[in-house]
A and B are shown apart, each in its own frame.
Chain A
Amino acid sequence: MSKKGVASTLMCLWGWLLFVGVSQALATPQLRLIEPPFFVNAVKAGLPPVQQRVPTPHHVTDMQAINRQEGEYGGTLKTLVTREKDSRLMNAWGYARLLGYTPELHLKPDILRSYSVEEGRIFTFELRSNHRWSDGAPFTSQDFRFWYEDIANNDRLRPGGLPSFLLVEGKPPRFKVLSKTKFVYAWHKPNPQFLPELAKARPPFIYRPYHYLKQFHAKYADIKQLSIWAEQRRLRGWAPLFNRLDDMYGARNADLPTLQPWHRLFGESARRIVFARNPFFHRVDSKGKQLPYIDRVIMTVVDNKIVATKTQAGETHLQARGLKFADISLLKQAQRRGVLSLKLWRISKGSQISILPNLNVADKRLRKLFQNKHFRHALSLAINRKLINKVLYFGLAVPANDTVLPKSPLFMPHYQTAWTNHAPEVANKLLDEIGLKRQGINAMRHLPDGTPLRIIVELSGERQEQIDAMELVAADWRDIGIEVFVKPSQRDVIRARALSGELMMSVWTGFENGIPTAHMLPDDYAPTRSDFLSWPQWGLYYESSGNAGQLPQWLPAKRLIDLYKDFLRTQGNGQRESIWRDILEIHANNTIHIGLISQVRQPVAVKDLQNVPGDAFYGWDPGAHFGIHRMDAFFFPKQ
């Protein structure tokens, strides 16, 4: 299965010259579009009719082909979020991207009419004609030029310089506008980061509404007026003002036009966030209805603890955020009462619970111990994962390492199972061999220099399941003579302690992307960032290009970062796949993350909504939660 998957991605994505999306455009010569009732009055008042609002060629979704039904216009979707800044989720869930993933993880043009790639380094993009922003202004090459030249390359707005996905060996691309709808980015060497970055749940938005934002940009606007506006908002100068208003992802500026299915309205309060359908959205269904089907989305900000309570009372139409596996029993009961229907999606993280020894811990003796793979193997072998599965997940999850899941074309069974069998005798033998002797009245293990071995495991305390799992793990580890203390703390505290080397071990969720295809970046799997709790110092070294942190001397880490650098130079998927395999092999052999369990179910509560898939994967990147599963196609059936 994996070979087929790879071959198909290979065919679809990177060849020499691949025009994808053209066929899509040709397939729909003439479609009679149906005006949504939501806009009937607006059209009478002067809004152009739907035929003139939707760009050509249309982006047509054949609902039957993706196992959905054609929907009905209308309705207001209510959902619960837990923070005011969660308004940004609308832009993830909407998931209108220049090019985006299908649920099968193929990259397809979405906002773009088509794109082509030459030699893995020259990217030519073409827009649909008559594509418009949500306020009706045309969306053209100018918007891309504006972002690249006036924002990304402006040192007042972006003091850090260009983002790393735009740099190949430190060099920027040449950007050139070819026509109103056509433009090109060209690097001197292949850039495998570029396209996957554009499809992320939080994309870089390499285009900005020029017509709106230019009035706040010093190059185009009167600097005196800008400083008056900035002063009114107590901001220092035009640049902070511009960045405040330029909030493509956060959706806090209701004036900022968007290309997403829903755009923000001025709300009456910060705890009730209202979105309305974008009249100029580019997708339509094969019956001629403009997407999204749903007119309005209302997010209510509530405390995390009462999301389950409100969901089972039927106060939300679509809810996954804030619901945990442990809430399933409660939600099933609500389903029996007919309040909602419950779908159980599979979480696509590498692991639900992953124990991360800090390989950069400041204590020299512990560092040596943690870097010893026999020690990590012993810890892994001592854990009874089946019991954790039974106690916490009714036996429905999969006891496994923190690695790729079977859905990924890169999956191999031994990645998942290496060193995960429950074998305390072997673990004991391994520990004896590396010189951790049992001593003292309670016969716990001591370090070779005679000090008792005490491991403090810190966790964020937000998830009860992590605390419960650690209680089971601590008992298992005590059986092999290792004393463990579990300390609930806070995310930021843990990150800071990791970087300073005080953190010994932590519990976190596993790799964010457990379902990578060969062309996705393996950045999670190598020490590339300082917020990775297994190797913060090595990550910092890479992140800062060697100006801070430590150069990894530990062989597996060295090898991983070299492989990652190789990946950034690859041109085709064949090379990428072999690099991925090497990386995953290193993780399987070294048990760098001690993963406990994966493929846990995520409850998704649905009320009255149609077209929500029953069995799907739930993840952030790739996935964007509902985004990849086409939230714009969800609809309320007519009574």
Chain B
Amino acid sequence: MVSPPNNERPNSSPHENEDDYYLSKHPYQPQAKTSLAREQVALASASRWKLVYYRFKKHRLAVFALYTLLLFYLCVPFAEQIAPYSANTRNSDYLYAPPQSIHLFHEGKWQGPFVYPMKASVNLEFMRWDYEIETQKPMHLRFFCRGEPYKYLGTFKLDFHLVCPPENGVFYPLGTDRLGRDLLSGLIHGARLSLTLGLVGVAISMVLGVVLGGLAGYLGGLVDGAIQRLIEILRSLPELPLWMALSAAMPVTWSPIAVYLGLTVILGLLDWPGLARAVRAKIMALKQEDYAKAALYMGASPSRIIFRHLLPGFTSHLIASATLSIPAMILGETALSFLDLGLRRPAVSWGVLLNEAQSISVVVLYPWLMAPMLVVIIVVLAFNFLGDGLRDAADPYHH
């Protein structure tokens, strides 16, 4: 099938009307093929990954999702610097404090970002904490400042923060919980665990899935049988009791990091069978292709055949399923922590924060504590859009 040269393509598509055959008015010029525009040359000779990139860039939503995720992932290495407080800093003078709004103008005059101080008092009539906002004196937020000290990476004693509460004041842009802990700081610190848990878990399940699925598909026979049975056993295990048993088995004296790693491994170990099955099916189909047979007859080793010839055939599938299972992992963690099976304070994740927000009182009286829900929704959606874009892009020859 020969398509007409691009520079002569008319505005309307030739296929709009079946009877309306298109005939170029210009005489046929065989040389035109060689006079492609520079971009077209670049496109035609671009490597596979470049094509993926071009294609991805066209998917606006995916690009937007990518930037959003990058922003969130900034919290992973720099949580201490971004958050104004640590995740477990309590202030018993501000229990259930509502979100503080950030102002720019005070009495009509530009002041820069500032907050008004608030004062708590017990309302015995309604049995709740009332906050009175004192709008006389604006308190300026400080930026690139020295605030609450922390140990960065467990070793360096630092006190640098992106934003600090005003001198002798507090800064709770998303409010506080029942013990007076800042919710924004909780979210930022929680991102560290919630976001990486998905990546690590997916990495584990990818490695296991590709290796075991690849072996099963390529070698077949006894190996295939054994791996298939293993998958069936794993799939038939009821998940909830299994999680409960595993998390109960983790000793309390473990540090939050160890519990977190344990949780990731659990999630990863349970996730690979689906991927392994897909890989096995693909390998089985592709190894019947002529080019794979040719490689075999030319004496290529199994690993070269798998990784060089077969694997590229379904990278798109792998990438898509990986990006789509990251949000599943994040949701898995939230679900586990929500059920009191996963992480526990002092470790903070979004699931931990959500677990603390599961009561009617929160919904009715302290709705700001449900903010982690919003964040989870945003991140999961972003991952889904990103996966969508990647899937389209990873197969640039496919329309």
Contacts and interface: CB of A to CB of B under 8 A. Distances in A.
Q: Are these two chains actual partners, yes or no?
A: yes
Interface of A: 305-306, 308-309, 312, 326-330, 332-333, 336, 387, 390-391, 394-396, 454, 456, 461, 468, 471-472, 475, 485-488
A332 B179 contact: no
B365 A387 contact: no
Nearest to A326: B361
Contacts of B253: 454, 456, 485
B126 A333 contact: yes
Contacts of A456: 252-253
A487 B124 CA distance: 33
Given A308-B361, A333-B365, 13 more contacts: A306-B360, A326-B359, A330-B364, A330-B365, A332-B128, A333-B126, A391-B179, A394-B122, A396-B124, A472-B179, A475-B90, A485-B253, A486-B252
Interface in B333-390: 340, 344-345, 358-361, 364-365
A390 B92 contact: yes
Contacts of A485: 252-253
Nearest to A490: B248
Contacts of A327: 361
B19 interface: no
Contacts of B365: 329-330, 333
B138 interface: no
A472 B124 CA distance: 23
Interface of B: 90, 92, 95, 122, 124-129, 178-180, 252-253, 340, 344-345, 358-361, 364-365
A468 B179 contact: yes
Given A330-B364, A487-B252, A461 B179 contact: no
Given A390-B92, A488-B340, A333 B179 contact: no
Sort A-B residue pairs by CB-CB distance and give the 5 closest, nearest first.
A329-B128, A309-B360, A487-B252, A328-B127, A332-B126
A308 B360 contact: yes
Contacts of B364: 312, 330, 333
24 contacts: A305-B359, A308-B359, A308-B361, A326-B178, A326-B361, A329-B128, A330-B360, A332-B126, A332-B127, A332-B128, A391-B179, A394-B122, A394-B124, A394-B127, A395-B122, A456-B253, A461-B340, A468-B178, A468-B179, A471-B179, A471-B345, A475-B90, A487-B252, A488-B340
Main SS class of interface, A: helix
Nearest to A311: B360
Contacts of A329: 126-128, 361, 365
A20 B59 CA distance: 90
Contacts of A332: 125-128
Contacts of B178: 326, 391, 468
A328 B92 CA distance: 19
Contacts of B92: 387, 390-391
Contacts of A395: 122
A391 B127 CA distance: 13
Contacts of B344: 488
A396 B359 CA distance: 22
B180 A391 contact: yes
A326 B179 CA distance: 12
Contacts of A312: 360, 364
A332 B124 CA distance: 10
A395 to B, nearest CB: 7
A327 B127 CA distance: 10
Nearest to A306: B360
A456 B359 CA distance: 28
Contacts of B345: 471
A305 B360 CA distance: 9
A472 B358 CA distance: 21
A309 B362 CA distance: 11
A131 B124 CA distance: 49
A441 to B, nearest CB: 11
A471 B125 CA distance: 28
Contacts of A488: 340, 344
Contacts of B361: 308, 326-327, 329-330
B262 to A, nearest CB: 15
Contacts of B124: 394, 396
Nearest to A487: B252
A475 B92 CA distance: 13
Contacts of B358: 305
Contacts of A326: 178, 359, 361
